[in-house]
Structure 1
Amino acid sequence: MVNFADDVPQYLAIRMAAPGGPVPEIADVEAWTARERYPRILSAGSPVFGVARERPTGGWELCFSIVEVHPQSAREDLGMICREQAAAAGKSGDTQAQQRYLAVAEQLEWEKIDEVELDVRYRVVRAERYIRSGPDGPEPPRSSDPDDHLKRDIADGHDPADGFVMDPALPTGVSEGILKTDLLQLRPAEGAFAPEVREDARRSALSHPGLVLLPPAFTVAERVHGQWRPSGMMDAPTPFRARDILSMRLRVAEPVERRLTPRQRARYAEAADRLEAEQSCELTVEESLLRIIRVERAVRFGPDGPEGPRPFDPDPEDPVMVLDQKLRAQGIVPDEDAPIVLDESAQEFQRLFEAEMDRRGKPLPRLEDDEA
């Protein structure tokens, strides 16, 4: 089923088709049910950034998971891609391409650049984050969401966004198409966002009027005294990863950050044990209710492809060589060989982290292995 005439620009079209099998059909039904149980669509907070490359056959492909909080972190990922391309060119004997790629990588160390051209165009892209909410709070994961509960190693874990093809011309299910329409109409509320952020959104609606939905991400929300709030935990690619990160936080980060007593630490560890044993999406710790929640992510598209960072997106980080220059101007000369001195809290965090990795039976990375 095609809902628009063929002469509509691809980035503006919302094409919907019948599900192509039982799994997509179940996902579409669950998405429709979610509209009824969780009718409100709310901002999930700050956008996230990643790197995508233009495909010769159409659309753009994500090079990594799209989780960076600031654009500069994605630019550093882009610099890494440049150096990988340079290494591949050098191995094949193409020294001219190798030098060109290295020159771009070095430029990224000095300048905030959001697009480069190597073999194809690479761009830092921006994704907005949303959650659905209803009378009982934010939406948890759906049964049709891909998971990877049989794997624990992050390097081997499943991430549906890695390599995901963003192409507005591809058809979607009916519920997903309706969600696109809903998201395109959302605007930052006056009073809840700064005027410059709202102006950014207005310009974006004109310059990038299309939308592509990414695979959902998962994080944790916390209900304290009847009010839901974000936990501050980073997005995870699957529900299992979100539980895994939450378990680590309960055993390692929370005791340090909240300065828990030994009795409280025991309760948090017991809660982490329950989380791992039951593989549930909700957990009560003392007076707080924690819930794994589903985060919708959307990238805006225009005539030239996906949207990059906006002028008023927080971008506090400097390119690595600019930062080095600033430190040297202050009389601070970075010494990579100098021992790292940890304060008391950092030492406690390291001790708990090492204990948790030992409990999981996971070896810690060694510096000698990285240097070898």
Structure 2
Amino acid sequence: MSEHGENVPAYQKVRVGPQDSPAAAIADVDAWQARDQYPHLLGGGGPVFGVAQELDTGGWEILSFGEVYPQTARDSMSMVFRQRASEAEKDGNADARAELMEAAERLDWEVLDDLTVCGIRYRIVRAEPFIRMGPTGPEPPRPSDPDPAEVGEAYRLPLPTKGFVIDTFAESGMSEAILRVELLTLVRKPGTVPDDVWEDSQVAVRTHPGGVLLPAEFMTAEYVNGDWRPTAATSGTPQGARDVLGTYLRVMAPVVERLDKEQRAVYAAAADKLDAERSDEIEVAGCLSRVVRVERLVRIGPDGPEGPRPSDHDPEPPPSVHVEQLRAQGVILDENEPLVLSEETKELSRLYYEEEERRKALREARGAARSAADDRDENRP
């Protein structure tokens, strides 16, 4: 940044200011302590993508986030346009509906990462995930990380990124500001990734030298042969990651790992313990799993947040193109042909149903307990 002297571009500035609430101040202290306990910053897997719209007031508002491929994010952008077209139709705005539907239909056929529709600019946004690592492994959730959901109910909460505004003018605490600077200078070493990935990362440092941290998310990782390996996609809260792990233990593992009756009981007991204790670490059949905190950095340039890079893995074409390819290959089945499910698929379906019924019963029990507690409070003199 020094080459600009005192005239640092706004998108490169990192603004530090006082925290506006006790919770934010505590979170900044937690972040500082994490630097000592988990001093090493490591890549947290491949990039993730989302949809954002530019605001007249400045910055970019995230509409959805968390896709592992750019095309999946483009499909989400198409869905945004279709939803807004439906709203325009209800409002009697035929011109807006037509423009939104035209943009959605273009995305069915074309690879487009930046579109202006009805005067609003939309973009596919790229974020790079990172984790902190220490002597005991990856950093788990911090005490100040919001975790409001009850067991099994985290999926009902909106993701913390939805509605988040990517804004380099926003002030942050000292710890977050330092982390942003560290992550902006953290690039892969030559030879550790394919050449095109390394070259794109070098270009990004020049074209998008600023950055903003998204709200933290959480995933589960497994300790295998001396290494920690991610085992699931990220969730918006620590409980969301625990719920994903619990579902794996009760539903997926019995089929994927071909567990016998006794092994299934061991895995189910571990899931029950995870639910009861809401712990961030659990050992099952000699395998250690942990809920891990994930930071994600969006790089910013003079034209806004970074989009997909040429080297980003993007295996599927737009949906209509994909359908044509499948038809040409004879892969698409006749819609009248009956679908035959494998025994494994039937077993997964049965276990998913049982898990849903179990969660429903717990939900009803919690509701009954709350109602009884409210009645007792009302009847107290």
TM (norm. structure 2) is 0.90
Whole-Å separation in 2 of the counterparts to 1:151 and 1:305: 38
1:76 is the counterpart of 2:85: no
1:254 is the counterpart of 2:250: no
Aligned residue number for residue 375 of structure 2: none
Aligned residue number for residue 107 of structure 1: 106
User: Residue by residue, what CA displacement relative to the aligned partner does 1:285-332 show, whole Å, maximum 9, x if unpaired?
Assistant: 011111001000110000111111100100001211101111221234
Whole-Å separation in 1 of the counterparts to 2:77 and 2:337: 28
Aligned residue number for residue 366 of structure 1: none
CA contact (8 A) 2:214 2:296 kept: yes
CA contact (8 A) 1:147 1:158 kept: no
Whole-Å separation in 2 of the counterparts to 1:158 and 1:113: 27
Gaps of 5+ in 2: 362-381
1:98 is the counterpart of 2:97: yes
Whole-Å separation in 2 of the counterparts to 1:361 and 1:335: 37
Q: 1:333 to 1:293 in 2, by over 3 A?
A: closer
CA contact (8 A) 2:154 2:237 kept: no
Whole-Å separation in 2 of the counterparts to 1:339 and 1:147: 44
1:38 is the counterpart of 2:35: no
CA contact (8 A) 1:151 1:157 kept: no
Aligned residue number for residue 368 of structure 1: none
User: Residue by residue, what CA displacement relative to the aligned partner does 1:193-238 show, whole Å, maximum 9, x if unpaired?
Assistant: 111100010111111111000000100111134432222x010000
Q: Which is worse superposed, 92-101 or 39-48?
A: 92-101
Q: Which is worse superposed, 127-136 or 323-332?
A: 323-332
1:8 is the counterpart of 2:8: yes
| Cα deviation, residue 161, structure 1 | 1.0
Whole-Å separation in 2 of the counterparts to 1:314 and 1:241: 26
Whole-Å separation in 1 of the counterparts to 2:6 and 2:94: 45
SS at match of 1:361: helix
Residues 133-212 of structure 1 mapped to structure 2, 5 A cutoff: 133-150=133-150, 152-153=152-153, 156-212=156-212
CA contact (8 A) 2:155 2:240 kept: no
Q: 1:339 to 1:157 in 2, by over 3 A?
A: farther
TM (norm. structure 1) is 0.92
1:329 is the counterpart of 2:328: yes
SS at match of 1:116: strand
Whole-Å separation in 2 of the counterparts to 1:93 and 1:149: 39
Whole-Å separation in 1 of the counterparts to 2:343 and 2:318: 30
Letter in 2 for 1:41: L
1:299 is the counterpart of 2:291: no
Aligned residue number for residue 369 of structure 1: none
CA contact (8 A) 1:75 1:113 kept: yes
Aligned residue number for residue 371 of structure 2: none
- State the structure with more CA Rg: 2
Letter in 1 for 2:135: P
- Give the alignment's Cα RMSD to 1 decimal: 1.9
Whole-Å separation in 1 of the counterparts to 2:38 and 2:221: 15
Whole-Å separation in 2 of the counterparts to 1:30 and 1:39: 13
Gaps of 5+ in 1: 363-372
Whole-Å separation in 1 of the counterparts to 2:55 and 2:290: 38
CA contact (8 A) 1:43 1:129 kept: yes
| Cα deviation, residue 6, structure 1 | 8.2
Letter in 2 for 1:108: L
Aligned residue number for residue 28 of structure 1: 28
Aligned residue number for residue 59 of structure 1: 59
| Cα deviation, residue 152, structure 1 | 4.1
Q: 1:179 to 1:303 in 2, by over 3 A?
A: same
Residues 339-350 of structure 1 mapped to structure 2, 5 A cutoff: 339-350=338-349
CA contact (8 A) 1:158 1:238 kept: no
Aligned residue number for residue 262 of structure 2: 263
Whole-Å separation in 2 of the counterparts to 1:51 and 1:158: 15
SS at match of 1:112: coil
Whole-Å separation in 1 of the counterparts to 2:191 and 2:55: 40
User: Residue by residue, what CA displacement relative to the aligned partner does 1:316-350 show, whole Å, maximum 9, x if unpaired?
Assistant: 01211101111221234454454432222222211
Whole-Å separation in 2 of the counterparts to 1:111 and 1:139: 40
Q: Which is worse superposed, 127-136 or 222-231?
A: 222-231
Whole-Å separation in 2 of the counterparts to 1:53 and 1:271: 43
